[in-house]
């Protein structure tokens, strides 16, 4: 597995398709809802299968304040879950956040992802928003030493 920053049309196509399939389609959201206005200011990362070249997972990170980076849209394809793909992406995000000058990393974690983030050093702070009227999110934070 390698972690890359998508740069070609094909890589971004795979990246956004994964974001849609994993984070929007299950809640009957329209195609296009996986894209954000500030995507062009974020660093995007994707995990690629060395053998097949297919995308295994992806996410993005951007600076929220001068010292705080935010991780968003972390998704891992169903067939690659529980194979350390999310953990490797998270490590790459932390490295990118440090390069950007971040002292802390925050995430708005979905209910089902809270334990993943806790296992990786995040502390749950408080519930935030309810996405699509049914997906509770929680702000979580990790210091970047």
**Domain with 39 in it: what CATH number?**
3.40.630.30
Q: How many angstroms from the chain centroid is the CA of residue 29?
A: 18
Could you report the per-residue pLDDT of 8-64, keeping only the tens digit for each? 999 999 999 999 999 989 888 899 989 999 999 999 999 999 999 899 999 999 999
Full domain range(s) for residue 57: 2-143
Number of domains in the chain: 1
Q: What is the DSSP secondary structure assignment for residue 30, as one 8-state letter?
A: P
Q: Is the pTM of this model over 0.95?
A: no
Q: Residue 101, SS3?
A: coil
Could you report the per-residue pLDDT of 64-120, keeping only the tens digit for each? 999 999 999 999 999 999 999 999 999 999 999 999 999 999 999 988 889 999 999
- Cα 114 to Cα 124, 125, 133, 144: the distances in Å are 8, 11, 19, 18
């Amino acid at each position: 597995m390698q972690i890359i920053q998508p740069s070609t049309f094909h890589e971004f196509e795979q990246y956004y398709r994964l974001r849609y399939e994993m984070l929007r389609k299950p809640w009957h959201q329209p195609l296009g809802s996986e894209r954000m206005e500030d995507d062009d200011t974020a660093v995007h990362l994707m995990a690629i299968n060395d053998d097949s070249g297919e995308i295994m997972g992806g996410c993005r990170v951007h600076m929220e304040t001068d010292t705080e980076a935010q991780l968003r849209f972390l998704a891992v394809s169903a067939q690659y879950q529980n194979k350390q793909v999310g953990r490797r992406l998270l490590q790459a995000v932390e490295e990118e956040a440090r390069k950007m000058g971040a002292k802390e990393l925050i995430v708005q974690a979905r209910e089902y992802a809270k334990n993943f983030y806790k296992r990786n050093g995040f502390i749950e702070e408080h519930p935030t928003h309810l996405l699509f009227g049914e997906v509770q999110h929680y702000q979580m934070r990790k210091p970047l030493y």
